[in-house]
Amino acid sequence: MEKYLQSQLEGIKGADILIGIPSYNNVRTIGHVVRAVTAGLAKYFPGAKAAIFNSDGGSTDGTQEEVKRVQIEDFRTIFTSHPVHPIHKIVTPYHGVPGKGSAFRAIFEAAGSLKVKACAVVDSDLRSITPEWMDLLLTPVYDEGFDYVAPLYARHKYDGTITNSIVYPLTRALYGKRVRQPIGGDFGFSGELAKFFLTKDVWETDVARFGIDIWMTTLAVAEGYKVCQSYLGAKLHDAKDPGSDLGPMFAQVVSSVYGLMADYQNFWKKVKESQPVPTFGFHYEVGLEPVSVNVERMIRSFRLGLKDLMEIWRKALPPETARWLESIGRVSEEAFFFPEDLWVRIIYDFAITYHNGSVHRDHLLKSMIPLYLGRVASFVRENHESSAREVEEKIEHLCEVFEEMKPYLIERWTTGEN
């Protein structure tokens, strides 16, 4: 730990609660986040000694200065109580591998140094955070004995399609816990779990750069920590058309999930079914920002993949699955349909191919993107008239298909063959 950071932490002399806010050039939004966090700590934990830790990745827009500047004007006019202890603010640059994981590592180290009981991490670009988030992310740890609190958001029916079509159903089928938003970005966790995270040798790897959220969720579940989720309402961020500007994000997320499968294969092979996790917070309807979707462009991408990528796909897929894909490519755009069970087979077969290394992993993951877009296009078509509740039921059904077909994964994973 750097001397500069160490001296700041020693000046605080321990804390009960730590809030981590990773940032990079977020001057426009981070003031609101810090004010909401400070107000929430004052309202819900007035007797606790709390610290806010801004772990910054080298911002050049004044982000760190904004954190230092922000104050809550006159607690007494807002709340019936105010903190017994001052809320300390720690602002430090993080070093090491660029990415969110390096920021998290610094936060975990600070949690250990301060010997905190409960921690939370929130994104620095949130527009929808409220003081109540502190209660929802921290109280299950601080008062109820949980080790990990995943977020549960209200999202537009076309938002979060990587989570909805891959990460949630796959991690649920593998590890047996129905954590709805395993890569949500805002989490609560115990000081003990923070210390455990630091024992793992991932901090110079791609996991630390790109996959820290799913890594934290998976370790909490697979290592037997007490896990729950809290309903936070809407998460307002810059939502995008699922078919545009995917860039490297898809490959980064999926590679993290697939990589963890190897680490915990002895665990997930024994999991027969999934169980719900305790959920905190009051569910309420919220207004959501619309997400525009260009279905035609996604179908074109799928057809182009059939033309250009079938050679790679055949190395990952059994012959009958490859033929099934080709038959989908021959139908008209109006009749286009990508079945759930085909999608689940593909996710499992690509996981096996990723594990056995028979295809260059970067090439393999990038080749999945047109398949993913084809499945999302079909999902959007199927649910054009569906309500948010009906779409959620469809996602739950997809999860059940993942669970029902898990023996297919285990059999092929064990033999290493497609």
Under the banding of pLDDT at 50, 70 and 90, the label for residue 282 is confident
For residues 171 and 249, state if they share a domain: yes
For residues 185 and 70, state if they share a domain: yes
For residues 230 and 120, state if they share a domain: yes
For residues 264 and 356, state if they share a domain: no
CA–CA distance, 177 with 161 (Å, rounded to integer): 19
Name which of 46-60, 64-78, 141-155, 220-234 the model is least confident about.
Answer: 64-78
Domain that holds residue 165: 3-280
Write down the pLDDT at residue 238: 47
The SS3 of residue 80 is: coil
For residues 253 and 358, state if they share a domain: no
Write down the pLDDT at residue 206: 78
Strand partners, 36: none
Domain boundary (215, 246, 280) is at 280
> Residue 307: CB partners within 8 Å, gap ≥ 6?
none
For residues 263 and 377, state if they share a domain: no
Model pTM score: 0.90
CA–CA distance, 1 with 9 (Å, rounded to integer): 11
Strand partners, 153: 233
Give 302-370 as a DSSP string: HHHHHHHSHHHHHHHS-HHHHHHHHHHHTS-STT----HHHHHHHHHHHHHHHHHT-S-HHHHHHHHHH
Q: Summarize pLDDT for 236-246 with one digit per residue, the tens.
A: 754 444 455 56
What percentage of the chain exceeds 90 in pLDDT?
61
For residues 267 and 310, state if they share a domain: no
